[in-house]
Amino acid sequence: MTDKCQIAALSPGIGLSHVVAGMWRVMRWNMTRETLAAFIEECVALGVTSFDHADIYGGYEAESFFGDALALRPGLRSRIQLITKAGIKLVSAARPTHRVKHYDSSAAHLRESVERSLRALRSERIELFLLHRPDPLMDADELALEIERLLREGKIGAFGVSNFTARDFDALHARMPLATNQIELSPFMPTPLEDGTLSALQTARVTPMIWSPLGGGRLFDERDPVAARVRETLQAIQRERGVTSWVSIAYAWIFRLPSRPIAIAGTQRIDGMRDAVNALDIELTREEWYAVRAAAQGREVS
């Protein structure tokens, strides 16, 4: 199963599993360090070897919690890939000097963020480092020089962005090679399909990473009529194909895109991770894919 979950390298020497375990909510999972370490091992056994973080997750606590869990399994670090993001400054007791929530893409802040993340994750290298949000005050030339230094020093293996529009991505990609753009996409959030974001990535031959592929849990909301329509469509496809879980069909909807996206599964359930991995064996037909989109939009394409 590990081989099935691997993809081509995002950049020389950097490859991620096709399904990534998202750590956004890890501090809400009521796990101990020991149970988190066991969960990481279970993910790796499934072929989910990449773990997505950001410095701000869990009020700046998630990376340290994960690093402590890794320390309980000394051989585990060499079997996984770490992804983290920086560039958002939260007002938090953990960062008492922050008075206003804002973005900071300065060289000094990103270097400090990388150093902090390395210490928190108990690692010598971050395989993929992302700028969390586009910053109107970003000096692209300064940023490119600092990223080059971090790459040369081996502190990061590759650099990309998160939540960038097509135009913002192209502007920065022209100055330095970007490994990915981590974006929100689901049947409920089709904007990247319509605004050129995915087209720009495909043109650049850059693999997108998708966060909230299940709509941030909306897909499971029993009170949401749109979610109910989408669920019913996914379940109909599941029955026709004899697939174990309709959730796998939801992930297959993402994987059907020609840019071959990586999906971030933000679940603490190993069965939920298995649903995502199993989706790699499912290739939806065009009619099936458009049926899901129509269910979410409440109409057929024009």
Point out the residues that are catalytic: 57
Nearest to 230 by CA among 242, 216, 218: 218
For residue 1, what are its two tokens?
Answer: 């199963």
For residue 80, what are its two tokens?
Answer: 């996984």
Sign of CA dihedral 184, 190, 196, 200: positive
Strand, helix or coil for residue 93: coil
For residue 38, what are its two tokens?
Answer: 């066991």
Read off the amino acid at residue 88: I
Nearest to 163 by CA among 204, 133, 206, 140: 133
Report d(CA 158, CA 207) in Å as an integer.
Answer: 13
How many CA within 13 A on the CB side of residue 19? 30
